[in-house]
Amino acid sequence: MTGAFYVTTPIYYVNAEPHIGHTYTTVVVDTLARYHRMAGEPTFFLTGTDEHGEKVAEVAEQRGETPTAVADRYSKAFRSTWDELGFSYDRFIRTTDPDHVAMVQLILQKVYDAGEIYFQEYEGLYCVGCERFLTERDMADGLCRDHDRAPERRKESNYFFRIAKHFNWLSDTIEKHPDFIRPPGFRKETLAMLREESGLGDLCISRPKDRLSWGIELPFDGDYVCYVWFDALINYLTAVGYPDGPDFERLWGAAEHVIGKDILKPHAIFWPILLRVIGAPLFRHLNVHGHWNVDKRKVSKSLGNMISPLAMKQRYGFDAFRYVLLRDMVFGLDANFTEAGLVARINADLANNLGNLVSRTLNMTARYSGGRVPQPGAPDDLENEIAEAAPRTAAQVDRHLRRCEVSRALEAIFGFLDGVNRYLETRAPWKAARDGGEEAKRLVSTSLYTACEALRVTALMIAPFLPATAPAILERLGIPGALEGARLPDDVARWGVLAPGTPTVKGPALFPRIEPPAEDA
Ligand code: ME8
């Protein structure tokens, strides 16, 4: 596959520090971007911050600061956190960036000129947390379901974008392209919203400046600013230079958005309709994941259970935290995070399975082969099985990642590692080494070579998921540059690349076993 790949995270509101939820989405997107780069596809990874709107104006007012100061501070917090975590984004966009402001105005004018925007008085229930008017479905006992706060009744004159007349077209499009919105539960949810939701009418896209001045001015009425969601979605076009930049041509058709289920409606309904109205092609996939709860409770500032990714990095190393996030959430379903669960997962998969395989293979290579990759004898069935399982695993990973099934991709890789561990148990080179003799020597060399090769291809396969661990393994195998120019999935099929005689390094445990946290032990 050599087509391009354009992948985005949501742009995050600048009213909170980055937490486990934002980190999860960004880890998924980073993993996909790394994978597609290794697949040889020209890749563009976009993330950033969503800075306008009432939410931010509200925080600024509460703190006696300007919205610009608040936006600058939190945007910097996201960016520096993302940098410290090593995310491989190509652009960090801010909705206050001049090219974005110009893009929003260009698109507003285009939609206005096409006669798709009208002016009307409107009354409805507005939730500042969601930054939108709510429908009955969004509320329980008079409160917003997502924010547990009472929406405000608002009556004001505003500009509206005619979206309701496109609902039939959108339903048809979603029906015809079953993986446009995935996994399927969210496709069904979108179709249900389009079918059933009362109050899902045209979209209010303005705010009068006398109520809110923190936003992008409407090009056709200086008394109004643009509604934050209309502004925010357009970031995905700004970054690729809509409508005639070379990147737009090259990347837009390959666009994939990754979002949490909380923002399904704007992405699954407003966004495709806006694209249609401006005559732009649709994105390729909308990938929707569930929510992380922490200790079975919703992540929230008031509960103080937001989980700082930097604290997790410091305590466990970021590859380990990243692994647990990717492995323990089935993409599309909710998941529960506990620190005891994280430790158990790190110990089982990273310390016992992967880490232990690396240690025992390299310890035995040091002991029985003078610290050099041994010269293997002719492979037998068991060796052939491992050599054949490797490309099969890489093909599974490829299939899963192209469907955004990240946890299943990792299951495949760790299933392969289980097989290699079983192989070593069966061959038991430590016993053969004790027995001595030519035949036993050949068995030791062949089995250690097979284990070293298996580690080499494992390092290639895990590189997008565990970007610090993969080069550490390759360094110990004596081939530190092996990731340069490596291609997935194809290079995993090239078995026998490791040159006998290459000096290896034992090194300390990659993932030392962690004592479970005391309260849960
Ligand atoms: O909604 N579990 O920004 P936001 C999993 N600015 N993911 C979570 C999560 C959780 N508990 N909490 C947050 C906005 N997320 C808008 C987006 S896009 C054009 C505009 C992740 O700061 C998840 O990706 O509230 C969710 O969709 C996003 O953060 C919401 O971030």
Measure the CA–CA gap between 187 and 164, rounded to whole angstroms: 18
| Average pLDDT for 472-496 | 97
pLDDT per residue as tens digits for the range 287-297: 999 999 999 99
pLDDT of 455 over the 80 cut: yes
123-132, 274-283, 374-383: which has the minimum mean pLDDT?
A: 123-132
- Any atom of ligand 1 within 6 Å of the Cβ of 291: yes
- Any atom of ligand 1 within 6 Å of the Cβ of 263: yes
Q: Percent of the chain beyond pLDDT 70?
A: 99
Write the DSSP assignment of 21-66 as a string of letters: HHHHHHHHHHHHHHHHHHTT--EEEEEEEE--SHHHHHHHHHHT--
Residue 312: closest CA among 286, 345, 275: 345
Q: Percent of the chain beyond pLDDT 90?
A: 89
Confidence (pTM)? 0.96
- Any atom of ligand 1 within 6 Å of the Cβ of 18: no
Residue 206: closest CA among 171, 242, 159: 159
Q: Which amino acid, residue 141?
A: D
pLDDT of 520 over the 60 cut: no
Measure the CA–CA gap between 18 and 313, rounded to whole angstroms: 13
pLDDT per residue as tens digits for the range 135-154: 888 899 999 988 888 999 98
Ligand 1 mean position to 151 CA, how many Å?
20
| Average pLDDT for 236-258 | 96
Ligand 1 mean position to 392 CA, how many Å?
35
Token pair listed for 216: 């992008």
Token pair listed for 36: 């597609």
pLDDT per residue as tens digits for the range 37-86: 999 999 999 999 999 998 899 999 999 999 999 999 999 999 999 999 99
pLDDT per residue as tens digits for the range 180-234: 999 999 999 999 999 987 667 899 999 999 988 999 999 999 999 999 999 999 9
**Which stretch of DSSP H or E encloses residue 226?**
strand 221-226
Residue 147: closest CA among 132, 160, 157: 132
Ligand 1 mean position to 233 CA, how many Å?
13
- Please report the pLDDT score of residue 239 as a whole number: 98
Superfamily of domain 5-318: HUPs (3.40.50.620)
- Please report the pLDDT score of residue 307 as a whole number: 95
Measure the CA–CA gap between 424 and 342, rounded to whole angstroms: 27
pLDDT per residue as tens digits for the range 412-446: 999 999 999 999 999 999 999 998 899 999 999 99
Kindly indicate the confidence band of residue 134, based on its pLDDT and cuts at 50, 70 and 90.
confident
Pocket test for ligand 1, best of 22, 235, 294 (most atoms within 8 A of CB): 22
- Please report the pLDDT score of residue 224 as a whole number: 97
- Please report the pLDDT score of residue 198 as a whole number: 62
Ligand 1 mean position to 25 CA, how many Å?
8
Cβ-contact 150, 136 below 8 angstroms? no
**Which stretch of DSSP H or E encloses residue 514?**
none
Task: Please check whether the two domains, 5-318 and 338-493, share a CATH topology.
Answer: no
We find that the CATH architecture of domain 338-493 is: Orthogonal Bundle (1.10)
| Catalytic residue positions, numbered | 19, 22, 127, 130, 144, 147, 298, 301
- Looking at the CA of residue 258, tell me the nearest atom of ligand 1: 24
pLDDT of 390 over the 90 cut: yes
Kindly indicate the confidence band of residue 519, based on its pLDDT and cuts at 50, 70 and 90.
low
- Any atom of ligand 1 within 6 Å of the Cβ of 22: yes
Pocket test for ligand 1, best of 14, 27, 50, 51 (most atoms within 8 A of CB): 50
Ligand 1 mean position to 196 CA, how many Å?
25
pLDDT of 394 over the 70 cut: yes
Higher pLDDT, 243 or 1: 243
Look at ligand 1, atom 13, and give the residue with the nearest C-alpha.
21
Q: What is the mean pLDDT of the chain?
A: 95
- Please report the pLDDT score of residue 68 as a whole number: 97
Where do the structural domains in the chain lie, given as residue ranges? Answer: 5-318, 338-493
- Please report the pLDDT score of residue 137 as a whole number: 82
Pocket test for ligand 1, best of 28, 291, 334 (most atoms within 8 A of CB): 291
Cα angle for residues 294, 297, 298 (degrees, 5° grid)? 90
Dihedral angle over CA of 222, 279, 183, 250, nearest 10: -100
